[in-house]
Amino acid sequence: MKILQQAEKDIDEYPKSIYIMREQLEHRFPPHKHNKSQILLVSGGIAYLKTKEREYYIPAQHYVWIPKGTIHNVKSNTTEIVLLNIYFHEEEMDQKYHFMDELGIYPVSHLMYEMLVYARQWKGVIFPDTWAYEFLTTMKHFIMQDPGKPFSIQLPTTEDSHMLAITDFMHQNLGEELTLTYLAETFGYSVRSLTRLFKTHLAISFLQYLKMLRMIKAMELLMENNKNVSEVAFEVGYSSIAAFSNTFQQLLNIRPSDFQFSVRSKS
């Protein structure tokens, strides 16, 4: 716990500095916030970032922009995941870019990937008037000008115990033919009541939630070397590869085979 407390102190101790954390500590923090905005780069797996309202899924070779003061915590699906965290102080020009006030997930371009790889040589506090500070500030400005197309898959969260039991069951049984009728019978609801539960506690329909959940699981499986697209489609509950591919492309703006190739080529 002392290590985590010291890390949190170090990040915000010098207001005009930039801070780099290469150690795998951020995902060990409980829900917390910083006085600096944060870029979190994910490599080698999927990170799960949770705020009070939503749970975000950050695939490998994506980064998340976390505005200052945002309460969050980070988890991962594997011990092999690599997280690079860079914490930036606020500049006057930040106010011109309204997207920086919102938490967003973006794909890593080839140029940004090379810049982030280069930044891994540094760690800890980076003070002004140094080459590292100038480089990192330039990288931030590049992101401000061209952040990329936002990654749109996210799941709403809830503290309702009944809804949590239902969504957990869905997580564990994605390969099955999950229908609203089947879930209603399994948990003792009418279809109408269960429909209302999804809208009330998650502000999303059952079908929307199921679609998002299947795509999230598909991304995880596509990063495993022993899974091809057809195997992944079947494992997440699709009997048609075409339907799976079309849904994947609709939500992620990339075909599953291209997603798989892109992630593995940068791992």
Q: What is the largest CA-CA distance in the chain?
A: 65
Give per-residue pLDDT as tens, 246-259: 999 888 778 898 88
Q: Within 10 Å of residue 1's Cβ, how many Cβ atoms?
A: 7
Residues paired with 56 in a beta bridge: 49, 154
Give per-residue pLDDT as tens, 49-61: 888 778 888 877 7
Residue-level pLDDT at 266: 56
Give per-residue pLDDT as tens, 65-79: 999 999 998 887 666
- Sorting pLDDT into bands at 50, 70 and 90, what band is 23? low
Percent share of the chain, pLDDT over 90: 41
Residue-level pLDDT at 76: 75
pLDDT of 133 > 70? The answer is: yes
pTM (two decimals): 0.73
- In angstroms, the CA 67 to CA 39 distance is 9
Residue-level pLDDT at 137: 95
What average pLDDT score do residues 218-222 get? 86
Strands lying side by side in the sheet with 54-58: 73-76, 47-50, 54-58, 154-156
- In angstroms, the CA 259 to CA 250 distance is 13
What average pLDDT score do residues 90-98 get? 83
Query: Residue 230, Cα to own-chain centre: how many angstroms?
Result: 25
> H or E element: which one contains 83?
strand 82-88
pLDDT of 152 > 70? The answer is: no
- Sorting pLDDT into bands at 50, 70 and 90, what band is 260? confident
